[in-house]
Amino acid sequence: MNKLINFIRAALKHKINRDIMWTLGSFFVLAASGVLMNIIIVIFRDSASLGIFNLSYAVYLIGSQVAVIGIHNSVMRYTAYHSENIVERGSMLASAMSVTLLFGIVFGGSIYMAEPWIATIFGSEESAEAIAYTGFGLMLFPINKVLISYINGLRHMRALSLLQTTRYLTVLAGIAIVSISSLSFTYATWSFFIAEALTIISVLVYMGKAGLLKHLIISGKWIKSHLEFGFKGALGSILLDMNTRVDVLLLGVFLSESDVGVYSFAAMVIDGLQHILSMLRVNFNPILVTALRDKDWKQAQQLLHYSKIYVFLGTLALALLVIPCFYIFVEYFIANKELVEGWKVLAILFGSYVIISGFTPFDNLLLASGHPAYQTIQNMSIAIVNIILCFLLIPTFGIIGAAISTALSYITGIAIMLILSYLLLGWNMLSNTTPAKESGK
């Protein structure tokens, strides 16, 4: 026991380990919140309500990336790049905030006004109303994303984790209140707006106390730089989020809201896994920016080495534990027996993640290395594969076809990243050899 305690103490002396622990806690709350939201909706409402919520959430996630147009990625990178220059950072941040606030208001308002067209696409007035309400949250999401990316770039991971946790719990509370009440379930998506409003107040208070709101001068140079960087990588970010939800959206087009609910109930577990792996990516990204800037390949190689071992083993262990537990839960503890079919969806999606898990925390490598256009190519390939396969497989195989399509798109994305990382950076991630190693230096 003493050895274990001493090991933990030694590990926590390193900032990256402390940061990972904080973000792990945050993403654990996110994963738990996602599971609880789905369970609460199923218990107090039905699978159709679950389908309405997940369709709305899919539009919200994709819409958030459209509204922010990749500027948050620019902020994260240049914050880390100019970590020692507070004047340059202040101008960079103010410029990003001004642009994203404008874009958020325009895009969020457009989503709200588009309710009639949304009803036509999904054939459901309830889904359209719930999606329309997400527009209010989208008005604030882009500027929140920029502020949080700024904190991420400075590696204030404790604050980042607490702020994110506040957002997740607020959404959970909103969903629970509406689900339990007699209110129309469409009001549940107002929780996004409430969460974004609370988050923006909290993050500005923190940044003010930490002295991070100084030298906020809007610069035409930085606006141009953000837009150039953002537009190059925006499509990639949009497509990446689209890929996590395109299966849900296309199920909504081809099948019923109840089918969407069954699929989403299984896919929520994968959402939790994705967020855990995102926790590692959030910590790795600023380190990769500086490591690649300084050609410090040793640090990058070390991250990959440990990821290929421990992330793989962790994901495999989760798969072996979670899949049978999910089956037992939906078979014996949930009254809605339609959900039992979801265990096949979960097994297919989890299986693909086990295969690629060691590389997944690096899937923003091209962006971190200053190649946003190639990051877009990677993410575009994922989305194209998923969309094509969904159109081919969902009409015949239903939710199983959607799961197969999404699983194959995950594998495609990592394969393309491995190819591009070697061609652009000279880093062979399969063998973990770098340009210096391969040239014999």
Residue (of 154, 144, 149, 145) closest to 76 by Cα position: 149
The total number of residues shown for the chain amounts to 441
What is residue 15's predicted lDDT score, i.e. its pLDDT?
Answer: 53
What is residue 51's predicted lDDT score, i.e. its pLDDT?
Answer: 81
Rounded Cα distance, 127 and 49, in Å: 9
What is residue 88's predicted lDDT score, i.e. its pLDDT?
Answer: 80
Rounded Cα distance, 223 and 17, in Å: 35
What is residue 194's predicted lDDT score, i.e. its pLDDT?
Answer: 93
35 in Cβ contact with 267 (< 8 Å): no
3-state secondary structure (DSSP) of residue 114 = coil
Mean pLDDT by 10 residues, the chain (441 residues): 44 52 65 78 80 84 79 79 77 86 90 89 84 92 86 75 82 91 90 91 86 80 81 64 70 75 78 69 67 74 81 86 84 69 86 85 75 79 87 88 89 89 82 63 43
What is residue 44's predicted lDDT score, i.e. its pLDDT?
Answer: 85
3-state secondary structure (DSSP) of residue 427 = coil
430 in Cβ contact with 404 (< 8 Å): no
pTM of structure: 0.62
Structure tokens given for 318 = 């989760």
Rg (CA), the chain: 21
What is residue 166's predicted lDDT score, i.e. its pLDDT?
Answer: 83
DSSP 8-class letter at 188: G
Structure tokens given for 348 = 């297919």
Amino acid at 206: Y
What is residue 12's predicted lDDT score, i.e. its pLDDT?
Answer: 43
